[in-house]
Structure 1
Amino acid sequence: MKTTNENQITLFIKQQNINKIQLVITLGGDGTVIWAANIFENISVPPILSFNMGSLGFIAKYPASSIIKVVNTVLESESIFIDLHSKLTYQVFEGENILTGTCINEVCIDRGINGSLIELEVYLNNEYCTTAIGDGLLIATPNGSTAYSLSAGGSIVHCAIPSILITPICPHSLSFRPLIIPDSVIIKLKVSENSRHLPWFNIDGSNKRKINLGTVIEIKLSEFCIPYVVLDDGYSNWIGRLRDILGWNDRQRQKALKHSPML
């Protein structure tokens, strides 16, 4: 890797430079990757090569200690593997106000600091599905299936599966199980007038805001994907990270009790 002196470093200005970027390299945790990808909100995202310096690093795929080796390999390769991860777009209709944006992991509507339940009417392609009563609801991408949705009991979904996850947060019903639906479905959530208080809305754990009763949130697949650079095929890379980082189905084998004079 060639060294760079300070005269070759250019300050990034989003409005001027965003269309010139061909590769994004992140140093940090999964939150850093999400922040970098969100810079390219309504345009094509360039390939992202991520190095983990955070606490977990499931989507930050490589250790920071390997940065020189990995970057050199990528730059010298004639072809590289790309993992395409889907994004979601959302529109929040609150009276005459419309809030729009994209999310990478999940759209979250929850009860916030209040102790009472909230009620959300769920519609799939304009057809009534159910009313979610509980602490809240997550609408997640496969990328987000290993984030908040997983902690709330949602399924783990490979990013090559074109799907959207609907995961309840502490539902007030034992039969309300998580759903995985096709990514062609348009989801609408309406804050029920019967909700005991105003819920909170946030995207990927940030930009938290309170929303009013009657507010409608429309969520659908974004036309843009997030391309992650990987050095091997995305399948084995994903399986390995499930085991090594999340400890998926990991258990310690029982060992025979050795003879002890104390027994």
Structure 2
Amino acid sequence: MAAERAAQITTVPPSVTNIDSKLTRKGLAHLATSPRTMTPTHKLAETAVGVREAAKCIGRALVKLEAPQTVMIVAKAFDPKIIKFTRQLACHLIDTPRTSCNLQGLTVYIDSKFRTHTAFNYEKLVSTHPHYVEKLMFWDSELCATHAEHIDFVITLGGDGTVIYTSWLFQHAQVPPVVSFDLGSLGFLTNFNIADIRKILQRVIGCRGEGVRINMRMRLSCTVWTHDYKSRKDRTTGSSLHLNHKTTFSEDDSKRKSIDGIKFGLLGDSFHMPSSIPMPPRVGDEDRHPGDIGNLLDEISSQLDAHADPDLDEESSAKPKRTTSLQFLADTKSTGDRGHKPVPVETFQILNDLVVDRGPSAYMSQLELFVDDKHLTTVQADGLVLSTPTGSTAYSLSAGGSLVHPEVPSVLVTPICPHTLSFRPMLLPDTTEIRIQVPADSRNSAWCSFDGRHRIELKKGDFVTVNMSRWPMPTICDADQGVDWFESLKRCLHWNERTRQIAFGSATAADKKLERVGRALDKQRVLEKKEIEGVNHTNGVSETIVEDELVVESTEQQTDGLSMKSDSVSHRSSTKERVQRRLSDSGSESGSPFSLLSDECNCKGRIHADHSPVAAGRA
């Protein structure tokens, strides 16, 4: 009965099934006839897929230089051998026509420092080949900054530093494609062997083949922001900031400056407070309540501000308020230090990394890290490294950073010796804007360097902003981006090199070596066993002879000395007879060992005879 009731309950009437099927067919027909609009999230997903596919196509695209006319050679300026090779390469590129393309030789741009170098010998080269005057040009930093479009591609002769220097030359322009040949020590960014230079140049400029793949290496744009000190009345006396490649001041920084009775000095100099400012209380001072220390600090701060900045607002000086470093940093980007607007000093396009460290100071760096104008964390370490995927194998790697593939558009943030156990390196997307700022309450300033060049001091309140550059650096690949990168890891850094674990029961070269060593051990063991048996047999006979001699000597000591002297010769003969008789009784074979033993006994007898009193008397 229970089973029948359960079947009645679970059975669906045929009419209900027919109604559901009709509704389903009607709904499907409605969806097929009426188009449905895409939702915003669907559109975003489709756009993201399209962007990824476009990036994949860019990375796999074959690029062919269409009839290049000019080439720029960047080589080590301090190596005479490379300078001499640069001269030979320039002559080859000028005089060698590209017959497959029906084109003449290239116009070559050489470093201007080579013009007067003895290894290059430009004067003799021009006198011997007069047509080189129009084909052999010289480049400098100004040409790269203003007329970068005149260069079709670049050849580097050196190591990784030469490639980074090439990127540094093109600061505000697109870098031409770079063909890098390995003549350095590491060669992580130099993919080509100098021995294959003719074959590689035919691929690049010889109009042969399908083309080459180019790695668009991401660069970072770093802008240094400081405060406009010219607007302050206390610094108008000849103080000027030169916005050149070196940030210098016209006044001598070693001289102390006096402002309304307050003398300031550089790091390590003394600081003199006026007598009108009350001194802080001593420990155990009962006249002052501990709760008044904060008011005392406010009073000192207001008086210092009043002396250092005469234009301080009276209302703000009447009611001074202490502000923390984060409150100060919240308004620094818009207002600057003490209400002055920060101004950009310089902008650099870097290929490797930006390093912000403590410089010569012995104190730990204190930096505020912002991402998209939001405070991320306070860095308390020796410094901070912001690197590109290309720079992930440089300083960032030494500081414990990760290895980043060059096709991953990201910024790697790596602390240098952080004073915490939880500050780990992290990757940020390339679309973010990063800001590193020195807080107002920092004990010291910070120093920043760009690709290991051009160190600039960041004073309190100064900061540097970092975002992705609009000018990447294209480098010619040997195979493609991925293969070249992994090969560089193995070749230069010996990445994950280890002897492979042997499987159980597999025959390897070690097994044959093991067999050879085992046979050698067995052979040596047999030889040593034979030697030991022969030595033991000889030692047994020798011990018997020595025992007999000891008995004879003890007997001789008991007898009278005179009789021993007279019978010494007969004693030696009888001893020899006894030894021979014992050897014959032992059943041993007669041979060379026994004759040797007999000779040894004769020698010993002669020795005893020589030391006897009779022999001494004869002497």
TM-score between the two structures when normalised by the length of structure 2: 0.40
Choose the corresponding residue for 1:178, options 406, 422, 425.
425
- Which residue matches 1:57? 187
- Which residue matches 2:155? 25
After superposition, where does 1:13-162 map in structure 2 within 5 Å? 13=140, 14-15=142-143, 17-76=147-206, 77=208, 78-96=210-228, 97=343, 98-162=345-409
Displacement of 1:195 in angstroms is: 2.7
Q: Is the 8 A contact 1:134 1:168 kept in 2?
A: yes
- Which residue matches 1:218? 465
Displacement of 1:241 in angstroms is: 1.1
Greater C-alpha Rg: 2
Q: Is the 8 A contact 2:439 2:461 kept in 1?
A: yes
After superposition, where does 1:199-238 map in structure 2 within 5 Å? 199-238=446-485
Letter in 1 for 2:223: Q
Letter in 2 for 1:163: S
- Which residue matches 2:235? none
Give the match's secondary structure for 1:36: helix
Q: Is the 8 A contact 2:167 2:350 kept in 1?
A: no
Give the match's secondary structure for 2:152: coil
- Which residue matches 1:11? 138
Q: Is the 8 A contact 1:94 1:215 kept in 2?
A: yes
Would you tell me which structure has more helix in proportion to its own residues?
2
Distance 1:195 1:253, change over 3 A: farther
Give the match's secondary structure for 1:102: strand
Q: Is the 8 A contact 1:82 1:227 kept in 2?
A: yes
**How many residues are matched?**
262
Write the distance in 1 (CA, Å) between the matches of 2:374 and 2:439: 16
Displacement of 1:35 in angstroms is: 0.9
Displacement of 1:209 in angstroms is: 2.6
Displacement of 1:18 in angstroms is: 2.2
Write the distance in 2 (CA, Å) between the matches of 1:251 and 1:196: 47
Q: Which runs of 4+ in 1 moved over 4 A?
A: 253-262
After superposition, where does 1:186-201 map in structure 2 within 5 Å? 186-201=433-448
Displacement of 1:114 in angstroms is: 2.7
Write the distance in 1 (CA, Å) between the matches of 2:196 and 2:365: 46
Structure 1 window deviating more from structure 2 (108-117 vs 214-223): it is 108-117
Displacement of 1:253 in angstroms is: 5.1
CA deviations 1:37-82 (Å, max 9, x no partner) are 2222111111110011111011122222222221122223342100
CA deviations 1:188-217 (Å, max 9, x no partner) are 111123333222110011111322111111
Identity %: 35
Give the match's secondary structure for 2:431: coil
TM-score between the two structures when normalised by the length of structure 1: 0.92
Query: Is 1:165 the counterpart of 2:412 in the alignment?
Result: yes
Write the distance in 2 (CA, Å) between the matches of 1:83 and 1:68: 21
Structure 2 segments unaligned to the other structure (5+ residues): 1-88, 96-124, 126-131, 229-342, 502-509, 525-619
Q: Is the 8 A contact 1:26 1:50 kept in 2?
A: yes
Distance 1:228 1:214, change over 3 A: same
Give the match's secondary structure for 2:377: strand
Write the distance in 1 (CA, Å) between the matches of 2:439 and 2:384: 13
Structure 1 window deviating more from structure 2 (160-169 vs 185-194): it is 185-194
Letter in 1 for 2:221: T
CA deviations 1:101-121 (Å, max 9, x no partner) are 211111110112333210110
Give the match's secondary structure for 1:4: helix
Q: Is the 8 A contact 1:117 1:195 kept in 2?
A: no
Write the distance in 2 (CA, Å) between the matches of 1:176 and 1:245: 28
Structure 1 segments unaligned to the other structure (5+ residues): none
Q: Is the 8 A contact 1:33 1:50 kept in 2?
A: yes
Displacement of 1:165 in angstroms is: 0.7
Q: Is the 8 A contact 2:192 2:478 kept in 1?
A: no
Give the match's secondary structure for 2:482: helix
Structure 1 window deviating more from structure 2 (233-242 vs 72-81): it is 72-81
Write the distance in 2 (CA, Å) between the matches of 1:253 and 1:229: 34
Give the match's secondary structure for 2:406: coil
Letter in 2 for 1:4: I
Displacement of 1:17 in angstroms is: 4.4
RMSD (Å), alpha carbons = 2.2
